[in-house]
Amino acid sequence: MKAAVIEPRDGGTTLTVRDVDEPRTGPRDVLVAVRAAAVNRADLRRAASHFSASEGAVGPAIGGLEMAGEVTDVGAEVCGVAVGDRIMAMTGGAWAERVSVDHRLAVAVPRDFDWLQAAATPISFMTAYDALADAARLARGESVLVQGGSSAAGIAAIQLARVMGASTVFATSTTPWKLSMLRELGCHALGADSRDLAAAVLDLTDGRGVDVVIDIVGHGVVQQNIDAAAVRGRIICLGRLAGTQGSFDLDEFSRKRIHMIGVTFRTRSMQERFRVVDRFRDEVLPQLERGEILPVVDRTFALAAVDEAERYLQSGKGFGKVIIDLDVALNAAAIGLTGDKPRPDR
């Protein structure tokens, strides 16, 4: 089968689309014919080891961390998943024609979703919901600020916060047309590069500040988060798009008695991930089924153009998910935007 393999080159790594052996499946695994897979920021760091397709997986380092496809075979100990099922999953080795997935990571694709939407769903919605529900413990009537609102995780967090009963949702972006897109999601969109961001948030919350900050940016916005937060506010460090280092005023942090919580899946055991998936299946999947929340697909590429897909994601020009469409011929060039809208910077 064809797959995008991460290989060493000149002290770094490169992606090569080539033939590899079929994946091995264990008794708790399902074999999936991949129809679409997503490109994530973690892929840019060559983080293939952050998620394993199944416990004890071996073979070449295949890129990709989430996908959607059709089940073609099931292990002897698999329950709840059958051949022919449409599933989506957060799992390693996704940039391939087939992948072996532990069935406990598999989630049924909402019936009205196409493959592109399905592949765009697992990581952004699972991580955003984990941040809001588990880390922040968002309560109905509380307010939320999403730093990096135009990222895929940010788009998911905005929608989830609203359906979870947040009184007000604020979101930031540095790009004017993206601010317009954020407003369409029903939030207050604010320019992230404004020195008056915290002042704007305080003004719109009658001087109180927000109860929860979901920070997907990191680096230079850490002090903004503290300034915009309410007393006893919770800041959830979900992403680090702008960098991993940040400084802040410890006195203001302490005065407000702020809780700052880091979130990642890299250090979680498989059992912890299974619990996240179970909760997602119970509490988020029904909302996806009803169309109350939806992934946003920005652009699709063929598997042969996966390196171009990575460059596009790195450019920051998109709004929503970048998807590898496995239904496109392997020798095809990148294909255009899904649901294309005119955008000023293109």
Question: Which tens digit of pLDDT belongs to each residue from 225-271?
Answer: 999 999 999 999 998 877 788 888 889 999 999 999 999 998 999 99
pLDDT the model gives residue 4: 95
Angle between helices 270-283 and 122-129 (to 10 degrees): 90
pLDDT the model gives residue 346: 38
pLDDT (average), residues 273-301? 97
pLDDT the model gives residue 53: 42
Residue with token string 């250090």 = 267
Give the pLDDT band of residue 336 (cuts 50, 70, 90).
very low
Give the pLDDT band of residue 58 (cuts 50, 70, 90).
low
Show Cβ contacts of residue 267 under 8 Å, excluding neighbours closer than 6 positions: none
Radius of gyration of the chain (CA): 20
pLDDT the model gives residue 334: 42
Q: Which residues of 44-54 are buried (b: 16+ CB within 10 A; e: fewer)?
A: eebbbebbbbb
pLDDT (average), residues 84-106? 97
Distance (Å, rounded) from C-alpha 124 to C-alpha 181?
18
In the predicted model, is pLDDT for residue 149 greater than 70? yes
**Domain 127-262 coded CATH 3.40.50.2300:** no
pLDDT the model gives residue 107: 98
In the predicted model, is pLDDT for residue 197 greater than 60? yes
Give the pLDDT band of residue 128 (cuts 50, 70, 90).
very high
**CA geometry: angle at 79 spanning 267 and 293, to 5°?**
60
pLDDT the model gives residue 12: 76
Show Cβ contacts of residue 278 under 8 Å, excluding neighbours closer than 6 positions: none
**Domain 2-121+268-325 coded CATH 3.90.180.10:** yes
Distance (Å, rounded) from C-alpha 269 to C-alpha 112?
32
The residue type of 124 is S
Mean pLDDT taken over the chain: 90
pTM: 0.90
Q: Which residue has the higher pLDDT, 9 or 265?
A: 265
Q: CA of 324: how far to CAs of 42, 90, 181, 295, in Å?
A: 15, 15, 23, 15
Residue with token string 């302490």 = 254
pLDDT the model gives residue 55: 42
Distance (Å, rounded) from C-alpha 30 to C-alpha 54?
10
Distance (Å, rounded) from C-alpha 170 to C-alpha 186?
9
pLDDT the model gives residue 46: 64
Distance (Å, rounded) from C-alpha 47 to C-alpha 42?
6
* DSSP classification of residue 132: I
Q: Which residue has the higher pLDDT, 259 or 47?
A: 259
Please give the sequence-ordered ranges of beta strands (E in DSSP) within the chain, or none if there are none.
2-9, 12-19, 29-39, 66-74, 86-90, 98-102, 107-108, 143-147, 168-173, 188-191, 210-215, 229-237, 259-262, 297-301, 321-325
In the predicted model, is pLDDT for residue 201 greater than 50? yes
**CA geometry: angle at 92 spanning 328 and 150, to 5°?**
70
Question: For the chain, where do the domains classified as CATH 3.90.180.10 start and end?
Answer: 2-121+268-325, 127-262
pLDDT the model gives residue 339: 39
CA dihedral 333, 338, 339, 340 (to 10 degrees): -40
pLDDT the model gives residue 192: 80
Quickly count: other Cβ atoms within 10 Å of residue 7's Cβ. Answer: 11
